[in-house]
Structure 1
Amino acid sequence: MCSLALRCCRPRSWLFSLGLAVLVLLLPGCASRVAEPVAQAPVSPAVWRQVDGELLNASRSATQQAEVYAQGSMEHWRTRIYQQTDEHFIPWFSGYWTQEWLALKVGWYSLNDRGDDAQASRRLAGYLQEQYQQRVLAPVALEIDADGITGEAMEFYVQLLRQQVQLSTARHQLPVPQLDQHLARIIAIDLGPQAGQRASLQQLLQVEPVARLPAYAPLLQQIHAGPATDQGEAAPGVSQVAQVTSEKLQAQFASRGVVGAVAAAVGRVAGALISVGVAGVRALVQNNEREDLQAQTRRDLGVAFDQAWLKQLHDPEHGVMAGVYYLARQIEAQLQASQPLVEQGPGWSP
């Protein structure tokens, strides 16, 4: 009975094994067909125009928001400059021994001016510039750097554009490869023929932070090479303070004959020279004159600094917003070209 049952089961077992083998052979073919990528239909020109229009509006909005950011940062920087000037530079400048030392310097400069009356003021301005950098600009730069605001504003602008691209991608269901190709045609930085001087909008949005982009450094170099940040120029107001101080000290020298005393000391040891200078100018700054000197210095520095501050804030080529303005001009000019004429407004200008 058992042998009969086994004979009956063998054909079924053989058929089952055969079917299983056939199924195993068919599975790789089915898997390969499932893995084949589905070709995506190209995005229509009408959709790309909509995307470009959205980016165009986003760039204009991002520029305005970057201006608000830059102005707030610059106002904070100016406040700290004023505080540092009041706390560290003006007390030092108006101090008794500082004025004694400045008087000696002006006397020495006057002996070597070779007929150039302005030379003493220029040399004094150079000395005061070093002191202002050391006592005011350098400490404030550790907290907030005016040059750094340029890069921060650019990064903020690019972040806002990046958010808009993400919204447009989701709204229009844009395939990533086609979107990358579209953005790669828009040149965001064009400073020269070399690869390190050029960057597409796709590269600008892809690299984080934007400072890692090879073309970023040349752009900043071009901005910082302008007159608004001339490294050879004295800090705002220092030249005016130096001129007023030099004229005042020279007049006092003339009335007291200190120049003649310093001249007589030429060739002697430094200690004797300093003694002559200090003895001749000991009465230059009295306690009842110090408040007036501080007030005058504060006015001279404040007026000139405010003018330089406004220039640095609003100069479209070399100010703190120059990087954003450059990117906006480049990008918007190309985006606007793809829009219907009825939708094109007046050209962008900072």
Structure 2
Amino acid sequence: MVRIDGPAAQDVADVFHKRWTQAVEDGVEYAGNATDFQVATDIAERQGGVQAQVTATLPDPIAEHAIIETWLNAIARAEHYVYIEDQYFRAPMLNDALMERMREVPDLKLVVITKPINEWTDPGCYHTYESAELFQSTFPDRFLFLQLRSFDTQVTLGFDETDAHFVDMDVHSKMFIVDDRFMSVGSCNKNNRGVIYEGELNVAVLDDAWVTAERRSVLAGILGVSNVADDPSAWFQQLKSAALANDAVYAKWDDESFDLDLDGDPLPAAYKPKGFLYSLPFSDTSDCLLESVGEDMTGQEPPSGPPDDGGDADGQGPI
């Protein structure tokens, strides 16, 4: 998440006012006790600030889809990379735009960090696997599908006293970064519910220096390093190599049933992962028990039609 100061903060309040007013007009419970309020519009511009736009998904009857509009605009201008970190990766509109742009730009890379899917209980399994397979089969050298895991050991009594604990991390960061120039972060997931049906709020930033600094910080954190390359091809390979190295460490522990007999000796380097990055395997869509449950699976366009040119989400103009 990000903290917003300055004029953009009044746009956050404006979105709240829209939803408050709509709820009162709809006569929701306790609406009779509600009162109207005014949004302050005199917040001074901050010196040294960045160009930011508050964007929203608002359901009918407001029907605003500015979040997906800014994402599609950014994808249409992408030249080097698109980085997605989210608990979901199953938005058909997003897939279509990414596929089209990756065909147009031969060097464009896509990195997706998300969380593992439960094939038995997750109704989003089908479209998640479908999305991953789409990009892996079409752009195998330009697509990374990754997950985050934490690791620690515990020394117990008896034989094989050193136990390994790998824990899948529940990715919930909802980031979208393009070319060290554009970043969108907020509550909106990469699925139909987030970009079409539900009430969501993001902030989109268009600022080379700020986005570059944030991308460096994000990657350094998950890689467990102090410095990250700026060349997209270099850090793409850095992510790939780190995931493969950690996969190998995980496999070595798996071969040992996740416990070792070290007799007090230090943990060998071959059993120490670095950072949090691992490959995220996926299966065929036929392995998903729930294949067509819920509106998140429909692939529909927004009720008001396809996204427009992305202008005027909350008075800030297109990004």
Structure with bigger strand share is 2
TM-score by length of 1: 0.20
TM-score by length of 2: 0.21
